[in-house]
Chains A and B, each alone.
Chain A
Amino acid sequence: MEKILIELSQEGQIGYSVPENDMGETDISKILPQKYMRATIPKLPQVSEPDLRRHFTKLSQLNYSLTTNFYPLGSCTMKYNPPVNEKIANLPGLRYLHPYQPENTVQGMLEILYELQDVFCQITGMDNMTLQPSAGAQGEFTGLLLIRAYFKSKNERRNKIIVPDSAHGTNPASAKIAGFEILPLHSEPDGHIDPAKLKEILTDDVAALMLTAPNTLGVFEKDILILTDMMHKNGSLLYYDGANLNALMGHARPGDLGFDIIHINLHKTFSTPHGGGGPGAGPVGVKKALEPFLPKPVINKNKNVYSFIYDRPKSIGKVRSFYGNIPVLIKAYCYIKALGREGLKKVSEQAVINANYLLAILKEKLPAPAGDRCMHEFILSGKPLNKCGVKTLDVAKRLLDYGYYAPTIYFPLIIEEAIMIEPTETESKSTLDEFARVLINILEEAQNTPDLLKNAPQNTPVSRLNEVEAARKPILRW
């Protein structure tokens, strides 16, 4: 393992060269009174540039990433991140702009953002978009505030949001902070929503139903049009969690299915890197009726001149400073331009084929509780392994030994010992074959040498880490 920075520290070292002081050596305390100055010296590392470079390069090598390993992480959609998009996002004319510089000096940027909104509308079947939200969860939150504002403008008191138990945890958390009460909806064993069960809880104070489609079991709601109809007849709205949009592009549009609001997680469907946890971007699209409430500013185009419009009396306001995670947006724009209509359609087709192919191989070895067909991801249950004293977690850790990142595990919560696999369209058949072979091999190890799994991983920079101890006695800094 690599030392931590403070252990590399040597009094008197510095990594970077401070720019020249061409102002003279005035004593700062002559400019600012002493009482405003810090009395303590922060314990920051003192490390030379060569040593720093090695330190962070070594750290990077302790990571699994998309450029080093296959990442079958269900519902996280880890597809290939094209380097050309990085190169473009770094063009000086896109990278070194100030958010408050005059609009006539940023016309190219505004054009990109405007066009991006437009293609997102085409892909999702929505009427308008905001690019402001900085992540899917912030997009959800924005969408929920739009729902609040919409009903408020109609003088309707609707304070409940229905969230299926198969939904991502961000759904209920976002609804809660947007001020709604959450009505959980129990999904069927195969992950579907039963319209009869929805009917039981659908009262006239329900504002919306949040759905992930395909859902987190990788299954498309077969009764979607019935659900849509029920909600709309009730005067309620339908929210589309765009986490799984990768399965639909060019084949169907949430807007055509009756959804009123949608957020898109750009890194999932549009190949923007996720940087070890972010930044992301979570643009939100809406149907016409919700358009007046979109965050401000909105971008306007008038005779090829672009401008920001702030005068939006019904807007919910701003959800982040400035205009959005711009580099992420530019990368998504590049991806869409490069692939175009036929490329995006092919993405979804191949993502679904890849997932079904892996499922077809693996369902012979482990139960597939959501059925033997899927969209872009699928669920297996590690339950049968329990009799060998092995858990899904052990399978996941053993996969790391073989050079694969682990699938998503124990999610959705409604499947026992869940293993959720999403290969994405950017993995080759041979990668999938090899992954399946390794996983099947691990299942055999579980029968014959279960300790290999329980003691995994062994080939990673550290062996299994004690997460319980970390939470019990938190050490959160040096």
Chain B
Amino acid sequence: MNYIPVTDKEKQEMLAKIGVKTSDELFSSIPKSARIKDLNISAGISEQALIRLLEDKSKKNSSLKDFLNFRGAGIYEHFIPTLVEEITSRSEFSTAYTPYQPEASQGTLQSIFEYQSMIAEITGMDVANASMYDGASATAEAAMLSLRSSGRRKLIISGLLHPEYQQVLRTYLQGTDVDIEVIQQVDGITSLSKLKNFVNNECASVIIQSPNFFGSIEDLDEIRKLTTEHGALLIQVLNPLSLGILKTPGEIGCDIAVGEGQVLGSATGFGGFTFGFFAAKKALAWKIPGRIVGQTIDTKNRRGFVLTLQAREQHIKREKATSNICTNAALNALSGCVYLSGWGPHGLKELAGLNIRKSHYAYDKISKVKGFEPAFKNQLFFNEFVLRTKKNIDEIEKNLLSENIIGPFALKGFYPELSDCLLFCVTETKTKEDIDKLVAILGK
């Protein structure tokens, strides 16, 4: 099939107007030696055959609709209100381009303005951008901002920053001569005493995730004091849903707050429905990467919205831009916008509360199962926690799978020293009955 609405007759008329006999003449500037006759790929198929083909492939996967899932580790299964997908699937949003002509793009622009406002509100920060690719790239961009604005060449990151974010951060900084110091954990949180040894006046920023990769809530007040003393920025990486209850980066005094927005109304999508949020203090507004929407007025004094502070961006500043980001993740951020709009402050609080209640119920129950025990003393957590087990981890996974359960995430891949530890995630999507089922099978 194809999507070309030009008939053969029209094509001939068009060629005549152009003044060529065949379309081939239009490709004559490409060297003959490099021209190909055909692509070595399969022939096209009908829409019916396409749907059938992909349905068959999709059936080779087991989706979370077939399984009970207790795995998080960076991508989380949450309830998605129907309206969220109803709105984001509206083609007037999904098939629009970057709003370069604001007068014809007020829908996208206003929704981004609303998104920016809500991200600023939940994080307690002054400004937010229009989104980035994912939590990892947002973290890397935050680190680069701190290096750029301070002129310093040293970064301190928590070893409990999501391991993939750590990898992405290192990739982003490959072209620079920046030193990255990783602070190891003690009892599931970033070691404050080790941190103290490394924070000094050469340090551009300290990057801490809280709740961290193990699910633990970090005590950021002490760390804030430390960074202030040494003129370093404090960057918090966080789960925005946890802010329904947890202390905000604004209240802590962080300079930048970033993280993964998938939890705000996007499906797990094999890790593909991501968007990074990026919020900062006012003083950094001109240094923020990516797109920003601002409010303004039209010639008749009516309110409207435009892309603004564009003098930071690559299409104007080229190699002097704050970042190379061009495309962002506007549609995924729109999910976040519709999601936050519907929950409001009270719904968000209740939802966060449900995550805490359910995960703590699971923690208490599984801790009492023979062969399982808490990995850390007094772990404070939101919706993920770590347990140590004497049982064979591969066996546990196999047993759970045979009961249609995707169980906890084994830490051994990222943290070999914790090869007997499992990271469990329980969100509002799990009922008491679901959790009891998990507990029963783990006890077998």
Contact = CB atoms under 8 A, between A and B. Distances in A.
A14 B296 contact: no
B393 interface: no
Contacts of A63: 92-93, 96, 104-108
Given A86-B89, A321-B271, A178 B174 contact: yes
Given A93-B61, A357-B17, A467 B296 contact: yes
B51 interface: yes
A97 interface: yes
A449 to B, nearest CB: 17
A277 B130 contact: yes
21 contacts: A18-B354, A32-B246, A45-B118, A134-B137, A137-B325, A138-B325, A169-B313, A169-B316, A172-B318, A173-B324, A279-B329, A321-B168, A343-B44, A352-B23, A353-B23, A354-B6, A356-B26, A360-B18, A411-B315, A461-B103, A462-B103
B327 A279 contact: yes
B275 A279 contact: yes
A275 B344 CA distance: 24
Nearest to B324: A173
Interface stretch (B179-187, B191-199, B225-233, B357-365): B357-365
Contacts of A316: 171, 174
B396 interface: no
Contact of B272 (A66, A177, A328, A338): A328
Interface string A89-103: 001111111111110
B246 A38 contact: yes
Contacts of A138: 133, 137, 324-325
Interface in A460-478: 460-467, 469-471, 474-478
B103 A44 contact: no
A378 B263 CA distance: 43
B392 interface: no
A277 B296 contact: no
B342 A16 contact: yes
A247 B50 CA distance: 25
Interface in B3-39: 3-6, 10-11, 13-15, 17-20, 23, 26-27, 29-31, 33-36, 38-39
B377 interface: no
A101 B89 CA distance: 26
Given A15-B343, A47-B344, A347-B4, A59 B328 contact: no
A19 B329 contact: no
A103 B306 CA distance: 44
A476 B278 CA distance: 13
Interface string A310-348: 000000111111111111111000101111111111110
A380 B83 CA distance: 44
Chain B interface size, as a band, is 35 or more
A98 B406 contact: yes
A300 interface: no
Contacts of B114: 4-5, 478
A350 B26 CA distance: 11
B45 A337 contact: yes
Nearest to B168: A318
B326 A170 contact: yes
Interface stretch (B152-160, B200-208, B345-353, B366-374): B345-353
B10 A429 contact: yes
A100 B71 contact: yes
A41 to B, nearest CB: 5
Contacts of B108: 59, 63, 276-277
